[in-house]
Amino acid sequence: MTSSTRRLGRCDLVRERSLLCTARDLHQHQSAVRPSSWVRSRFARAAELIARRLHAIQQDLDTTAARLARPRAAAPAAPRRPAHRSP
């Protein structure tokens, strides 16, 4: 087992509720219910792809929220035109 596989196989304690951890938990539950290795591997792959896509969407939403939360630079004031006075 490679180090990247080991990392995906465990959820770090800080991000215990991350999407990949949720997918892993679903996979473990599904493995207990359906012992067929083919079904397990197919479900695991689908769950991993879904979790990765959800993670990418969450990052996009976080980026957009951060961009919207930043204060905008004040727009320069429109130049004032002197009032037209009749002689």
Token pair belonging to 9 = 């196989």
Task: Report which of 1, 37, 5 is spatially closest to residue 24, judged by C-alpha positions.
Answer: 5
pLDDT over 60 (residue 29):
yes
Burial of 32 (0-12, 13-18, 19+ CB in 10 A): exposed
10 pLDDT above the threshold of 60: no
The three-class DSSP label of residue 16 is: coil
The model's pLDDT over 39-86, given as tens digits with 9 standing for 90+, comes to: 667 777 888 888 889 889 999 999 999 999 887 776 667 777 766 666
pTM of the model: 0.42
More confident residue, 58 or 27: 58
